[in-house]
Structure 1
Amino acid sequence: MKSICALVHRPDRDRAFFQRYYEQHHAPLAARLFPFRGYARNHVDMADGFGWDTISEFWVNDPLAPQRVIEGPHAAMLRADEDRFLDRTRLTPARVEEHVLSSGDPADADGRRLAVLLKATADALAWGDPAMAWGRDLARRRSGVVLDILIDRTSGFPADAVLWLAGHDDPGPPPDGIAARLLRMHRHETDMTTNHSDFDNEGHA
C-alpha cells in the first residue's frame, strides 16, 4: 500500500526551516519508528502560491501498522517532534493507487523531481483514462514515470492524482479535461534496510 501526504511549516517558521528540520531530525526518527517499506520526501523548490512545503511518500506492507505506531507508546514523542516544525492541522494524507509507468530513478542526478498535480475538469468517471494515456506517452520517452491516483478524492489533498517525473523539464500541456500544476522539487529517500535499530517496527518498547 502507498500513501502520500502534503505537509507545511508551522506559522512561526518558514519553508527553509521546515525542510531542514524534516531531513535532519524528523525523517530519521520516523524511519526508526514506522515499519515503512519505502519512505521519501519531495521538497518544493519553486511553487508560487502552493500552500505546502513537501509531499512525502510512504510504502507499507501492512496498512494498519502506521496506526499502531501513532497510537503506541512512542506517540507522544512523535507528536512533540512534529510540533517543532509542522502545522499538524494542515496535514493532508491520501491513499493512492500507484502505477509505475517506466522504470528508472525517480529523480535526476541532482535529486530534481517534478510533481504534476492533476485535477479533473470534466467527467469524474472518465478523467483517469486520459491521465493514464498521457503518463504512458511520457513514459515512452522518459524513465522514472509514476502516476499516483487518489483512492479517496475527498481527503483534502490538493490534486486528484500526481504524475511524478525525474528532472524539472516541463512535460507539455495535459489532455483535455485535466488541469495540471507543476511543482519543481528535490527528492530525498531513506534507505529503510538500515533502519529500525532503536525501536521495533510497531513502536513498542
Structure 2
Amino acid sequence: MTNKTGEKDMSYMTSTTFYNKFLFWLIRLQPFINETGRPPISADDFVRFYRILYGCGLRISEGLELEIRDFNLDKHTVNIRNSKINEYSLTTILPYDIPMLEKMSETHSKSEKLFPIDRNIAWLYAKQAGRLAGFKISQTYEKREIKGIWTSIFRVSCSKRMFELDANTELVNRKLRKKSPKSINRLSKDKLNILLAWENEKFFKFMESN
C-alpha cells in the first residue's frame, strides 16, 4: 500500500529492506542538530542502535537504556533492565552483531549509556531514513504515559523474520520475552539455549549467503 506522497507504507522490514535500504539511508542522513550545535550521536551509532533493536527484538525504550554491562558477548545474550517481564529479561544477540558490540565495548565504559538520545530523536532518524528509502514507517502510536512517538516495526520485523526462517511460536515468544499463561515454562533457560542454537545455525548461514 502507498500513501499520497507515493511512499510505501511499511509495517515490516525484511532483511533486504532493513540492511540494504533503511540502514543505507540512515547513515547518510544530514544530522538533526540539537541545542549544542552537534548531532546527538554519530550516524554509526544510529545504525548500531537500530541493528540491536532489529536483531534482539527490543522495544525502543529498552534500546535507549542499554549499557555495555548489559551484554554477555561470550554467551550471545543481553539483559534488559526494567523489562516488562522482569523475571525474563534475557534475550539473544545475533552472531553477526557480536563483532560490532565488541568494538563498542572498547570505546564505552560499562555503565555508560550507549545511545544518549530520547525517543523523539530516535523516531525522527528512523522516519527520515524510511522516507529517503521510499517507504513510510508505520505502526506508530501515541500514549499518554509515554512522552513522544514510538514504533514497534523493528520488534515486529524481528519476529516475522524468525517465522520466515521456520522458527516456531515458542522460539519467537522466547526471543521477544513474551509470557503466555498457557505455557509457564515458555521462557525457561532451556528455551533460551534452544534459541541460541537455532540462531547460530540460521544466521551463520545468512552471513555466508550475503
Tell me the TM-score normalized by structure 1. 0.29
- Bigger relative CO (Cα 8 Å, ≥ 6 apart): 1
Counting helix residues as a fraction of each chain, which structure ranks higher? 2
Q: TM-score, normalised by structure 2?
A: 0.29
